[in-house]
Structures are given as C-alpha cells and as structure tokens.
Amino acid sequence: MELELFSGAFFSALLAIILIDLVLAGDNALIIGLVARNLPKESQNKVIFWGTFGAIAIRALMTVLVVYILAVPGFMLVGGLALVWIARKLLTPHDKEEESHLVKAPAASFAAAVRTIVIADAVMGIDNVLAIGGASHGSILLILLGLAISVPIIVWGSQLVIKLVDRYPSVILIGGAVLCWTAYGMIVREPMLVAWFEAHPAAKLVLAGLAFSIALAPWYAERLSEQMKPLTVLLPAILLWMLGFEVASSVWKVQVDYLMATTQGEYLLEGVRWIGWLPFAALFLWIRERMMLRNARVARSTQ
Amino acid sequence: MRLIHRSPRAANAARTASPSAELFVASLVICMILSSFGYAVDPIWFGETGLELAVVDLGGEFSVLAMRHWHLLELLLAGGMMAAGIVILGIVAGAVFQPLATADSGAVEKVPIKL
C-alpha cells in the first residue's frame, strides 16, 4: 500500500518511524569503543570508519529484506506479535546498567573488530528494522526516510538521543504505545487474517485491548497496589479467553453470539464465554496467594 | 544494548515519567483503543435503536466510530485534548468540591454554631 505523499497518513507514519528510531536505537558507539579499545591507535580510526560503514550497510540490507519478508503471508502476524513483546521489554524498568552481552572481549585484529561491530548492529537493529517495516505500510519512500533518520543516530546522534530521553522519559512511554499500535496494525493487516477480521469486527477491539494490556503491563503495574498486581496477568488472560471464543467459533462453526443463539447449547456456550473464566481467575489468585505465603515463610525461616 | 539504557531515567521511564506525561500517554492509548472500537460497532445498530443522532455529528468526523480512520497525528492531538480536558475537569471539580468539604472540628477557621 503506497501512502499519498504529504498526507496526514504519510506524516503520521513518518512520526511513528522517528519515534521508533529514537526508542529502539542501539548503542553502536559503546560497541565500537569496547571492540576497538585494545587495538593500536592507527587501527582504531579504521575500525570506527569501517565498523560504522558496515553497520549502515547491514541496516540497509536488513530493511530491504524486511520489506520483502513482511509481504510473505504469516510474517506480518509474527512481526506484530514480536513488536508487542519488544514494546513490553522497552517499558520494563532496568534497575542497573546492563553490560553489553554482544561484545565478550576486545577484538584482537581489525577484521575481527569490524565483524563484531557489524554482527552487533545486526542483532541490535532487528527490532528497529521490523518496526519500521510495519510502520511504513510498505511505502518505499518512508522506509528510505526511516533509514535516513536511523543512520545519523547510529553515527553521531547517540548523545543527543540520550539527552532527549533523559530529559523527557515520557518519550519512551509514547514510543511503547506507538510500537504497540504498529503491532496491532500489522496483525490486522496480515493477509491471512484480513477476511477473518472483517467477519469478526469485535475481535479487533479485543485484540487492541490485548496488545496494549500485554505491552504496557510494566508501566501500569508500577501504578497498581500489591493487591491489584494480578491484574497484569488477569486482564490479558481474560481478553485472550474472549479472543479464543471468537477463534473457536470460526474453527468449529459454532455460534457464540448471544443475539444469534438459537439452541440451549449455544446459550450455554455464551454463558461460558462471559463468566467461564471466573473459576480460573479464582484458582490463579488462590495459587498466587499460597505461593506468596510460602515464599514469606521460607524467607522468615532462612533469616 | 539500547541507547536509552545509558540513561537511568529513560531506562526506568515507567517510574520516572511525570504525571502529566503519563496522563497524556494514557489518553493516547485510550484514543487508540477507541479507534479500534469503531470497527467493532456496526453503525446500523445505532440506527435500529434510534440512536443514530448519537453517532452522526459534524460530517461524522468527530464521533467515536469515525476514529477508526484516524492516523497517529490525529490520535496524538485527540490524546492531548483528552488529557487537557481531564486536567480542566479536575480543576473545576476541585474548585466546586473543596468549599463543600467539612473543616476539622478543631480547625481555627471552624465557625462555631450555637443554637
């Protein structure tokens, strides 16, 4: 689908790409610094240049690949689900500064250093490229613009991005919401599911609620009291239960709509759909309570 | 490692974001979910129940059902408007209900009423 140039949809997609680039940018400068720190001074400059060049080249190649991969039926769904998880990881608080697991040790040679930088960028950039592929709606111009925005961030923009997100951490929250919105859009645009969503319009609402309740759980969990914390599990589980009935109605050709039910069995099924999750929720809360009591007992006994 | 994890404030955005920013993002998310609600509701149902006036407004562009066509920019604006509306509502509600709250029995400004 090609978006009309300079339309509201075009600028919206561009804004989504900029936000995604900001929040999912990888720390290439740190990787290059870690890899090249034991190399001779004259090799370090060459490593910085070729490492950055390789990182940009691999990013461009991955972007092109993602455009083609997302056109394959099924990949839009997989990409959408992956983005929901990426948004959740993005919003999960990090208490201590994590070590970069992509670089185990400084490189011993120029070739090894460049190879490590390129591989590290490829690993760090997968989510970024996937999200841009989803947000661009297949528009080549937007993908090129996304690449043109992410390359300066890779090369020079790291300090600027750090300053921005440090001053306004809410950019991360907006980025998480936009990522989740992009994921929802990718799932409902999945070619294999378009017809199903047309036939089950309520499923779109449930899916949107499900995606946001999973992706934003680390954020709203911070605002919930200890007694309300199970909501981070129960809310997505209930929405998944509802979505499951919509899927089941298609697979087994059963009527789960109360207004269209005609037989006793269909009314029973409708009842199970709306209140059948209650025993499971109660069981979950009971097990959680027991586990918490057990953990508290163990903690007391070890003191 | 992500760039944002170099900043402790950004890495803990779920904890460090300001309340007003959180209200804005929450409003944005509500608008996003409402826009998917537009797909779930068939406008014909409203017609059948005589509620078509509830969903048809100025060209039908500002109703919840029309939100399904909205882009991110429109949703951001709507989220901002909703957050501003909630803040104004909070201020107005505070101004109305604060004078109605009873003062402490031992407070200095408590007016003694003798019958």
pLDDT in tens, B88-111: 999 999 999 888 877 777 776 666
Give the 3-state secondary structure of chain A: CCCCCCCHHHHHHHHHHHHHHHHCCECHHHHHHHHHCCCCHHHHHHHHHHHHHHHHHHHHHHHHHHHHHHCCCCHHHHHHHHHHHHHHHHHCCCCCCCCCCCCCCCCCCHHHHHHHHHHHHHHHHHHHHHHHHHHCCCCHHHHHHHHHHHHHHHHCCHHHHHHHHHHCCHHHHHHHHHHHHHHHHHHHHCCCCHHHHHHCCHHHHHHHHHHHHHHCHHHHHHHCCHHHCCHHHHHHHHHHHHHHHHHHHHHCCCCCCHHHCCCHHHHHHHHHHHHCHHHHHHHHHHHHHHHHHHHHHHHHHHC
pLDDT for A280 beyond 70: yes
User: How many Å apart are CA A86 and CA A172, to the nearest integer?
Assistant: 12
pLDDT for A100 beyond 50: yes
Residue A102 or residue A145, greater confidence: A145
Whether the CB of A20 is below 8 Å from some CB of chain B: the reply is no
Whether the CB of A277 is below 8 Å from some CB of chain B: the reply is no
Q: How far is B29 from chain A (nearest CA, A)?
A: 7
Q: Which of B7, B13, B73 sits opposite A173 (nearest CB)?
A: B13
Burial bucket for residue A24 (CB in 10 Å: 0-12, 13-18, 19+): buried
pLDDT digits (tens, 9 = 90+) for A58-89: 888 888 888 888 888 899 999 999 999 999 99
B60 in the Ramachandran plot: left (φ > 0), alpha (ψ -120 to 50) or beta? left
Q: pLDDT band for position B58 (50/70/90)? A: very low
Question: Could you tell me if A80 and A183 are in contact, meaning their C-beta atoms sit under 8 angstroms apart?
Answer: yes
pLDDT for A224 beyond 70: yes
Q: What is the percent of chain B with per-residue pLDDT over 90, rounded to a whole number?
A: 30
Interface test with B, best of A97, A98, A170, A206 (most B CBs within 10 A): A170
pLDDT for B79 beyond 50: yes
A102: phi then psi, degrees, rounded to nearest 5: -80, -25
**pLDDT given for residue A129 in this prediction:** 86
pLDDT for A208 beyond 90: yes
Residue B14 or residue B42, greater confidence: B14
Residue A104 or residue A245, greater confidence: A245
Whether the CB of A75 is below 8 Å from some CB of chain B: the reply is no
Whether the CB of B82 is below 8 Å from some CB of chain A: the reply is no
**pLDDT given for residue B49 in this prediction:** 58
Q: pLDDT band for position B48 (50/70/90)? A: low
**pLDDT given for residue A174 in this prediction:** 94
Cβ contact, residue pair B11, A26, below 8 Å: no
Note which residues in 244-273 of chain A have CB less than 8 A from chain B.
Answer: none
A138: phi then psi, degrees, rounded to nearest 5: 80, 5
Q: pLDDT band for position A230 (50/70/90)? A: very high
**pLDDT given for residue A235 in this prediction:** 94
Cβ contact, residue pair A172, B13, below 8 Å: yes
Q: pLDDT band for position A200 (50/70/90)? A: confident
**pLDDT given for residue B111 in this prediction:** 66
Note which residues in 13-42 of chain B have CB less than 8 A from chain A.
Answer: 13-18, 21-22, 24-25, 28-29, 32-33, 36-37, 39-42
Q: How far is B22 from chain A (nearest CA, A)?
A: 7
**Tokens standing for residue A214:** 């999973």
**pLDDT given for residue A113 in this prediction:** 83
pLDDT for A127 beyond 60: yes
**pLDDT given for residue B112 in this prediction:** 65
Question: Could you tell me if A39 and A107 are in contact, meaning their C-beta atoms sit under 8 angstroms apart?
Answer: yes
Q: pLDDT band for position A259 (50/70/90)? A: low
Residue B78 or residue B64, greater confidence: B78
Note which residues in 93-152 of chain A have CB less than 8 A from chain B.
Answer: 93-95, 97-100, 102, 124
**pLDDT given for residue A177 in this prediction:** 94
Residue B81 or residue B114, greater confidence: B81
Whether the CB of A9 is below 8 Å from some CB of chain B: the reply is yes
User: How many Å apart are CA A303 and CA A77, to the nearest integer?
Assistant: 49
Q: How many CB atoms lie within 10 A of CB A171?
A: 22
**pLDDT given for residue A252 in this prediction:** 79
pLDDT digits (tens, 9 = 90+) for A5-14: 778 888 888 8
Whether the CB of A193 is below 8 Å from some CB of chain B: the reply is no
- Average per-residue pLDDT in chain A? 85
pLDDT digits (tens, 9 = 90+) for B16-40: 899 999 999 999 999 999 888 776 6
**Tokens standing for residue B55:** 């969903």
User: How many Å apart are CA A131 and CA A76, to the nearest integer?
Assistant: 11
Q: How many CB atoms lie within 10 A of CB A250?
A: 13
**pLDDT given for residue B41 in this prediction:** 65
Q: How far is B57 from chain A (nearest CA, A)?
A: 22
Helix (H, G, I), strand (E, B) or coil at B43: helix
Mean pLDDT of A104-111: 72
Measured on CA atoms in the order A52, A56, A57, A58, is the torsion positive or negative? positive
Mean pLDDT of B65-75: 79
Whether the CB of A207 is below 8 Å from some CB of chain B: the reply is yes
User: How many Å apart are CA A66 and CA A128, to the nearest integer?
Assistant: 11
**pLDDT given for residue A105 in this prediction:** 64
pLDDT for A183 beyond 90: yes
**pLDDT given for residue A232 in this prediction:** 93
Q: What is the percent of chain A with per-residue pLDDT over 90, rounded to a whole number?
A: 29
Going by C-beta distance under 8 Å and a sequence separation of 6 or more, which residues neighbour residue B16?
Answer: A169, B9, B10
User: Which residues on chain B are in Cβ contact (under 8 Å) with A13?
Assistant: 71-72
